[in-house]
Amino acid sequence: MPMKSSARWRTVLPVGLERADLDTLRRALAPLPVVVTVAADDWSEAVELASVGRYDGVVVSYPLRDAPMATFLGALRRAECACHNSSIVLLARGPSRAEAEMYVGRGANRVVRWDEVELRLAAVLDGLFHAAPRVPLKVPSHIQVVTDGPPNPLQCRTVNISTSGMLLDVAHSFRPGTLLAFELALPGLHQPLRGRARVVRRTAQPSEPFSGVGVTFAAFDESNEGRLASFLARFAG
């Protein structure tokens, strides 16, 4: 699948990467209009750089030497940090992938295995750079797993939403990749919004104060996609 063309050049800060790893990173990101900056050798240097200058992306070797990852991510996500809205990707080696995934939604945006860096990293970062901004919106919703069996609708609550996906407050846990049919009532619209969405992550507690899932939209019924875009344009304005 071709990647979207970026509207401008972007900067990526590598953290904790060895020289050979930096060469791999630059090769992986060659398809994008990206400048890979001088690397931060350790977490304290990375926090210092991120505090004074904004980077579009921060690519971090996992595990990071001499720093609890939660502390490092918390420092980058502070409101006063210039990089608090940057896309953060953890590059995990071997069995550390599962542990690294625990930080998705808790400061990190994605995890990529080191043996997949040249295959996946450019697409992952490009997708994050172009992710639609979400707006807070708490409305009642209904979802159900798309299966051949009998329907089992569940009540839940939409917490935030964008043209590309939404965050749901729901007691039931779903595995990433699960396809859901959804229906939600948006203020000012006479008919509910309907379509299908795929689970991409579970919420991380206690940093997110509820049990739920993040989903990306897979399909919309009829003209529902246009209705959502028009609603968000009004809401954001």
Strand, helix or coil for residue 159 = strand
> Residue 222 in contact with residue 214, Cβ under 8 Å?
no
> Residue 193 in contact with residue 224, Cβ under 8 Å?
yes
pTM exceeds 0.85: no
Q: Which of 126, 174, 158, 124 is nearest to 232 (CA)?
A: 158
Residue 118, pLDDT score: 94
Mean pLDDT in runs of 10 for the chain (237 residues)?
A: 58 93 94 92 89 92 84 88 90 87 83 92 89 79 82 86 87 85 87 89 70 86 85 71
Amino acid at 38: V
Q: Structural domains in the chain?
A: 10-129 (3.40.50.2300), 135-236 (2.40.10.220)
Phi-psi region of 18 (alpha: psi -120 to 50; beta: other; left: phi over 0): beta
Residue 5, pLDDT score: 43
Residue 235, pLDDT score: 67
Residue 236, pLDDT score: 57
